[in-house]
Chains A and B, each alone.
Chain A
């Protein structure tokens, strides 16, 4: 269930209420988000679309605890994150959020295995346990045979799959994807989307994704449009996407 009118109940995994975000550029105030409401239930796959500068990434950053709102509240799995200190928010991110970025953002001097292991180094898991978790994550994304490769030795699609493995290795509450296919060709994009669908379908993950691409958005359960700082619900049919999704 995804709602944008603020009528969601306590069963929502993510609850956003009256969210405002204002930037000050020079002497001018820019209202990016205005009184935004959102409820997302567990296991949902939501795509956010909208023109450049409409606040998609800002919304994602706020829900991921990377930025703080000017007004309003965000509650995730019962935790009100908008009033957390910077330190608490860092710990919260480590536990609850998996990030997938457009440019992959892998550490170039570490192997795929070591990149995926990074979030686990913050936990109390033993070396053997960490290895087991990393191997599982890499097998889910289909890169068991590439774990000792450095990012420069992988294709763009493979790099993004390593990023997805890094995002899921600590079993976070939800995944935030910022243009996950923005830097990929159609084939690789389709593979990555299939992987995200599998994470939602088979592993019951909640995925929130920002994209410019209607074909990619069509693979999500719900597409929301951001315009002038407000969310509007859309549907696959309204987008005019052919059945079968991303080609």
Chain B
């Protein structure tokens, strides 16, 4: 600790340069964590997927329907425990920017297939009794300050030109786990079936089913797809995690894009900090020679340079992570439900800090090595 004063004093030698370097670190670390959060949000589907759940969609595309009559046939397949069905509604609340996922659900089986999404019994019973009843996720309700009893108008252009559908908010669900999606809006199949044009009736968007044994999932999926092969509505059945991964892929290779940006950020940061440290060491050649002349070892010189680089990295890194803690929740609400809930996990902060430390050490190694190898006689001659 007796050397801390030397390291600290050297850091503040060029204040503007120090501030700019720390600023680069802070911005880069913020970006790094933000990318990790977005990547995580895109992959959330795979994280929340139940191992015992299968999703059945139309083989052509998820936007093509499947007949409701398949439900009872599928339920008779050995190993199938429960089945429910959903439709995408695609509406907006009051203004176009207020977009969030709305699902038409099958009230009979929803809770059995998605047991991790909790609705209080009294609210669920009220939902069953009200054809116009709706249930919102906790985050969604918080976003629009909804409470049970509110009248919710949803505007749609997918199902007829009538425009606005009215709902009564009768319940609010929450997830058992932090990663569960609490941004959905559910309403009843019967109400939907009653209101959609004739051409839509009797069709659902996709089925979700639970199997007794996850090991049987591939076999059951094949049975279902074989059953409807060469029919007008061929199916594609896959595990919920595979379905979620496929959904993300529709946006392009997000993961690759995010990793690429992350790598570019990391190397840019490394070059900026490395350059700063190299300049800083070069400016102090004669001083480092004096340190060595009066008895400081090569390793202690390396230590000084690495300690400076590490201090810059830690201060900048912690600032960036602090910025991320402040900004990520705000960005989450600004995205208006375009992504599932954005969560800043402790693991991201920990990883960010590791990246900062690693970059700090790496950026100090080359100039530190040069300082360590400096020949006192030559360095003093440069004065």
Interface residues of chain A, those whose CB is within 8 Å of chain B, are 61, 64, 66-67, 86-87, 90-91, 93-95, 99, 101, 103, 105, 107-110, 114, 118-119, 121-122, 127, 166
Contacts and interface: CB of A to CB of B under 8 A. Distances in A.
B300 to A, nearest CB: 8
A118 B291 contact: yes
A90 B296 contact: yes
Interface in B280-327: 286-287, 289-298
Question: From DSSP, what is the main secondary structure of chain B's interface residues?
Answer: helix
Contacts of A86: 298
A66 B294 contact: no
Given A105-B286, A118-B294, A166-B294, A61 B377 contact: yes
A105 B287 contact: yes
A88 to B, nearest CB: 10
Contacts of A107: 6, 9, 287, 290
Given A66-B377, A90-B297, 12 more contacts: A66-B293, A87-B298, A90-B298, A91-B295, A93-B294, A99-B294, A105-B286, A105-B287, A114-B5, A121-B2, A121-B3, A127-B2
A179 to B, nearest CB: 11
Contacts of A109: 9-10, 12-13
Nearest to B286: A105
Contacts of A121: 2-3, 6
A204 to B, nearest CB: 21
A127 B294 CA distance: 19
Interface in B348-383: 376-377, 380, 383
Contact of A90 (B9, B10, B13, B292): B292
B87 to A, nearest CB: 69
B294 A94 contact: yes
Contact of B383 (A87, A103, A166): A103
Given A66-B376, A67-B377, A105-B287, A122 B293 contact: no
A91 B286 CA distance: 20
7 contacts: A61-B377, A66-B380, A94-B294, A101-B383, A105-B287, A107-B290, A108-B13
A182 B5 CA distance: 31
A14 to B, nearest CB: 18
Contacts of A118: 6, 291, 294
Contacts of B377: 61, 66-67
Interface in B161-191: none
Nearest to B3: A121
Nearest to A114: B5
Contact of A110 (B9, B293, B294, B376): B9
A234 B377 CA distance: 28
Contacts of A103: 286, 383
B296 A122 contact: yes
Contacts of A67: 377
B295 A64 contact: no
